[in-house]
Structure 1
């Protein structure tokens, strides 16, 4: 502590990253040292600093993972954002639920959105069920967690509990809190079906649906929303399942975005290919949102050249369509100075519509 204080008093930046992309505050939390955390905070260490590695964890994420309530509350008192997501879309409450950190989970469940999903649709309750921690499930259920929430595969927490060993206590708790034993995922499977496939005999009697009555599989708007969510999150299997069940590829949200808009904007090339295969007409492939953006505009704006190549290579795509402001895809690529993308569009026959955007031969 004395040596650390001397270094900090000499003017060293407490937010410097080491070669692993961690700040001193991240290291102090991983070492479960509240005294060192307090010292670093006194010298201005940022509570919202993310790791510079692929994880992108904030100090609050780390505190939730190691299960140190004192450190967690110190960070919250300094203004740490409990709803901030890491690079995978996980918030601190997701890490606490997954790691079985009960006290931090109790704190976070009182101030956070307990039903916030990560990219694949799992909530903190799903993660607690997978982790096999009944106490975590109870904390979340008491804090208003939705036991009917579904993943992009249509699975509830009860489905996931049935796939993770003989979790009788968790299954009983979920059912007590209102979980529907007859709920089916998008493949028409109940939690009982999952238990049978994995030989979880202790769950058979608990999960069997009386009279074998099952809830209907999702149809209509629910299925189209699942398709868009799967396209946005990069879940190719989810996209295929939704299409197989009859999801309309051109169904849009309130802003006019279809699944193709979502996949193009996020740069999910394989999903874009699959969605184009499902388009039956030029109108479906070239659907525009309320601002006049097509999937091609979305791919250009977000800088995904591979997706642009796929789109301009499809005969159904209109490469010279313009937005409500009169911008073509090429106009956008020129304005954003995406040189390689400009060449791809020009080679495909794209034209610039805005006079002051000139292609440098």
Structure 2
């Protein structure tokens, strides 16, 4: 079963008029106003939601987060906003599909490429950070080891070799 996507502005207006919280499931499918904004490609409304503290990774009854909805509608603007807000691009929906795979299946090649590039960049950055952390740890261990060798009974060695 393919998740429904209400791109009608009236649905968003109704959710806002009822005064629900930004992270509350606004409809029977568990879709928040952010889900509907992303699905409808309404980047301005989504940006407003992001500024009010919406959970960008909240899943609806289909296991889809707003990033899946933006990918399904082919909205590069909404995808960009969600990625910039630290949406998990590796999150799978109930059918096991990521937003990239959803974009591909809906024929939005540019959106799928964008998400693939972001994922590659995030993975590369994560590996680089991990390598830098390992180097810092090794340097700290070497420094501690060298420091301990130069101390004898709590006293520093003199340059002439006497303690």
What TM-score, normalized by structure 1, do the two folds share?
A: 0.29
Aligned-pair distance for 1:144?
Answer: 1.0
Q: Which residue of 2 aligns with 1:128?
A: 103
Contact in 2 for aligned 1:60/1:72 (Cα 8 Å): yes
* Cα distance in structure 2, aligned partners of 1:72 and 1:143: 20
Contact in 1 for aligned 2:20/2:26 (Cα 8 Å): no
Residue-by-residue CA offset, 1:201-248 (whole Å, 9 max, x unaligned): xxxxxxxxxxxxxxxxxxxxxxxxxxxxxxxxxxxxxxxxxxxxxxxx
Match of residue 55, structure 2, among 71, 81, 91: 81
* Cα distance in structure 2, aligned partners of 1:63 and 1:52: 13
* Cα distance in structure 2, aligned partners of 1:137 and 1:123: 10
RMSD: 2.7
- The alignment status of 1:90 with 2:68, answered yes or no, reads no
Aligned-pair distance for 1:46?
Answer: 1.4
Aligned-pair distance for 1:135?
Answer: 1.3
Instruction: State the aligned residue count.
Output: 114
Aligned-pair distance for 1:45?
Answer: 4.0
Q: Residues 142 and 32 of structure 1: is their aligned pair in 2 closer, same or farther, counting only changes over 3 Å?
A: farther
Aligned-pair distance for 1:138?
Answer: 2.0
Contact in 1 for aligned 2:25/2:31 (Cα 8 Å): yes
Moved over 6 A (4+): none
* Cα distance in structure 2, aligned partners of 1:140 and 1:133: 11
Q: Which residue of 2 aligns with 1:56?
A: 30
* Cα distance in structure 1, aligned partners of 2:54 and 2:44: 14
Q: What's the secondary structure of 1:114's corresponding residue?
A: coil
* Cα distance in structure 2, aligned partners of 1:52 and 1:136: 27
Residue-by-residue CA offset, 1:266-295 (whole Å, 9 max, x unaligned): xxxxxxxxxxxxxxxxxxxxxxxxxxxxxx
Q: Which residue of 2 aligns with 1:30?
A: 8
Point out the structure with the larger helix share. 2
**Higher RCO (CA-CA < 8 Å; seq separation 6+):** 2
What TM-score, normalized by structure 2, do the two folds share?
A: 0.61
Equivalent residues in 2 for 1:1-361, closer than 5 Å:
30-31=8-9, 40=16, 45-53=20-28, 55-110=29-84, 111-144=86-119
> Unaligned 5+ residue runs, structure 1?
1-26, 147-361
